[in-house]
Amino acid sequence: MNNKDSFDLPSLNEARKRIGDIPYVDFNLDDDCRNLGKGKTYFIKTHGCQANQRDSETMAGILDSIGFRANDSEKGADVIIINTCAVRQGAEDKVYGEIGALKRLKRENPDIIIAIAGCMAQEEKTIREISAKYPQVDLVFGTHNITNLPKLLNNIYHERKRLIEVFSNMGEIVENVPVTRFAKHKAWVNIMYGCDKFCTYCIVPYTRGKERSRLMEDVLAEIKVLKEEGYKEVCLLGQNVNAYGNDLKLGYSFGDLLEEAARIGIERIRFVTSHPWNFDDRMIEAMRDNPNIMPYLHLPLQSGNTEILRRMNRRYSAEEYLELFKKLKETLPHYAFTTDIIVGFPNESDEAFEDTLKMVDYCQYDNAYTFIYSPREGTPAAKMEDNVPMAVKEERLQRLNEKITFYANKANQKFKDQIVEVLVDGISKRNGQAYSGYTPENKLVNFTGNDVKVGEIVKVRITEAKSFSLDGVMVE
Ligand code: 5AD
Ligand code: SF4
């Protein structure tokens, strides 16, 4: 393949700009792409969040619709796509390791196509790096042009030349895109794309563009079809679901969408992620009044110190978070709460970190995802001095994790000897003789039983409560 690249670099600076109205269009396939994948296979490796998982299902759906078949691994696949995450340096390093490892496959079969997609593709530095050091990569496409995949592949098959197509700004919302969902009983449903919050540490508002909501009728229609197809659970996806509808100015909000979605009658509805900012009463009421909205809320804290929160541009103080948390606990006493916390943000003093620990002591989360701050080039925080030494960051993370584990264990003990409802995912990862699935509170349960079927909701008696999972026996 010819490695003389010609492309426009994506620009994080351009991606900052929130440009005009977004048109809604239907997916359209060029005639000359219809049989592109006949006799060929693909493999998609997915990193990162649920938005990426869902994007991979779209890529799979598009490839299936043009004749490709899925392959179990990289080996033997004609098209390999790595759907990347840019949220922390560790995630990026992993991807470079994978691209490196693919060099051998490419040498053995130069006809395979190696593609890089997702959030890393939206960064200028990734394109520069791949262009300079990774000739084995044939295609780079971003988060805004997934639906161009057939055209891009067609182009490569004809031109035999490396192709890089990444848009800094989003073009349109494409509906009726083919999708191959990876599970048959629970489904991701995008309700909005992008993020306008601009937390100073976060790359996402640059890699996924401005907040764009799907029309409520399109979201509800998708949920109805899923219910008819036998799906038991939908998870509504957005970087910040609370902001759903704001951009549309059609007079409806996330609370309205929750109500309408609940009315469809699918067994389980979940959603991620909620920002503590603009969390309105309508939403809380919908959560309180609809039993098929699962009693589980992920409410990212990030820091328990008001000054650090201000420097993170989180738009709430520690007191405001606490106030919201108390209100939610009072209104939704049966809910499980989880959170995200970053340690070692620039200027985080011992006292500021202690504030985070105090907050955890107060909130006693069911679980938390905890991270060491990772500067992301192009974000405002990357310009702040990264002045907490790594050894201190690591020690803080360890202390925090000990606390999180303590409260996770405490929360799980409540389930000991209780009978819980579990939506069965399949064979347990830990024990080939057991099954696993999740309770309404999003607790992982490993259990034994006879004639257990994936996708059914079964009753399980909890025999042992561990910090991050429950063990049990099916009772019917
Ligand atoms: N460094 C460390 N953690 C980060 N997160 C987002 N950006 C960064 C970063 N630069 C964490 C936040 C967010 C979660 C998805 O990832 O806690 O909620
Ligand atoms: Fe990673 Fe964020 Fe992109 Fe999801 S949106 S893949 S978490 S960078």
> Which pLDDT score is estimated for 115?
98
> Closest ligand 2 atom, CA of 50?
4
Mean pLDDT of the region 321-340: 98
- How many CB atoms lie under 10 A from the CB of residue 96? 16
Closest to 215 measured CA to CA, from 264, 260, 184, 263? 260
Portion of the chain with pLDDT greater than 70, in percent = 98
Q: What is the pLDDT of residue 6?
A: 62
Alpha-carbon span 52 to 207, nearest angstrom: 12
60-84 pLDDT tens trace: 999 999 999 999 999 999 999 999 9
* Model pLDDT, residue 213: 95
Question: What is the structure's pLDDT at 4?
Answer: 54
Residue whose CA lies nearest to ligand 1 atom number 18: 340
Mean pLDDT across 2-18: 71
The minimum-distance atom of ligand 2 relative to the CA of 91 is 1
At residue 385 the predicted structure's pLDDT band, cuts being 50, 70 and 90, is: very high
C-beta separation of 145 from 124 below 8 A: no
Q: Are 229 and 216 in contact (CB under 8 A)?
A: no
- Check whether 294 has a pLDDT greater than 80: yes
Q: Where are the alpha helices (DSSP H) in 264-305?
A: 281-289
What is the model's pLDDT at position 3?
A: 46
pLDDT at residue 32, as a whole number? 92
Describe the chain by its helix, strand, coil percentages, rounded to 5: 35, 20, 40
Ligand 1 atom at shortest distance from the alpha carbon of 369: 17
Q: What is the number of the ligand closest to the CA of 378? A: 1
Measured in Å, residue 118 CA sits from the centre of ligand 2 at 8
Q: Which of 12, 47, 49, 239, when mutated, tests ligand 2's pocket best, judged by the most ligand atoms within 8 Å of its CB? A: 49
Locate the ligand 2 atom nearest the alpha carbon of residue 51 and give its number.
Answer: 4
Residue whose Cα lies nearest atom 1 of ligand 2: it is 85
401 vs 429, higher pLDDT: 401
Measured from the CA of 87, which atom of ligand 1 is nearest? 7
Which burial class, exposed, middle or buried, applies to 303 when counting CB atoms under 10 A from its CB (0-12, 13-18, 19+)?
A: buried
**DSSP assignment string, 428-445:** -SS-TTSEEEE-TT--EE
Instruction: Report which of 314, 320, 321 is spatially closest to residue 381, judged by C-alpha positions.
Output: 314
* pLDDT tens per residue, range 466-476: 999 999 999 97
Tell how far the Cα of 308 is from the centroid of ligand 2, in angstroms. 22
Which has more confidence, 246 or 170?
246
Per-residue pLDDT, averaged over 264-283, amounts to: 95
Mean pLDDT of 213-226: 97
State how far the Cα of 137 lies from the Cα of 120, in Å rounded to an integer.
Answer: 14
10 alpha carbon – ligand 1 mean position (Å): 22
**For 297-314, how does the pLDDT look when each residue is reduced to its tens digit (9 = 90+)?**
999 999 999 999 999 999
Q: Is the pLDDT of residue 1 over 90?
A: no
Check pLDDT > 70 for residue 87.
yes
- Report how far ligand 2's centroid is from the alpha carbon of 49 (Å): 5
Q: Which one of the ligands is nearest to 339 CA?
A: 1
**163 CA from centroid of ligand 1 (Å):** 30
Lowest mean pLDDT segment, chosen from 165-179, 217-231, 261-275, 307-321: 165-179
Q: What's the CA-to-centroid distance between 199 and ligand 1, angstroms? A: 9
Please say if the pLDDT value at position 7 is more than 80: no
How far is the centre of ligand 2, averaged over its atoms, from the C-alpha of 273 (Å)?
Answer: 12
Share the mean pLDDT of the chain.
95
**Ligand 2 neighbourhood includes 376 CB (under 6 angstroms):** no
The residue contributing the CA closest to ligand 2 atom 5 is 204
> If you average pLDDT over residues 100-107, what whole number do you get?
96
Torsion sign over Cα 71, 75, 80, 82: positive
Residue 2 confidence class, pLDDT cut points 50, 70, 90: very low
Ligand 1 pocket (Cβ < 6 Å) reads 87-88, 201-202, 300, 302, 340, 342, 371, 373-374, 376
Cα(39) to centroid(ligand 1), Å: 41
Q: Which residues pair with 424 in a beta bridge?
A: 437
| Pocket mutation for ligand 1, best pick of 202, 273, 299 (most atoms within 8 Å of C-beta) | 202
- The pTM (predicted TM-score) of the whole model is 0.94
Q: Is the CB of 272 under 6 A from ligand 2?
A: no
199 lines ligand 2 (CB under 6 A): no
For the stretch 19-59, pLDDT in tens is 777 788 999 999 999 999 999 999 999 999 999 999 999 99
Say how many residues make up the chain. 476
pLDDT at 20: 74
Structure tokens at 64: 């299936």
Ligand having the closest approach to the CA of 206: 2
- Ligand 2 centre to CA of 299 (Å) is 17
Q: Is the CB of 86 under 6 A from ligand 2?
A: yes
- DSSP alpha helix (H) spans, 332-378: 350-363
- CA of 86 from ligand 2 middle (Å) equals 6
- Cα of 88 from ligand 1 centre, angstroms: 7
Q: Residue 19 Cα, ligand 2 centroid: separation in angstroms?
A: 21
For the chain, give the percent of residues with pLDDT over 90.
91
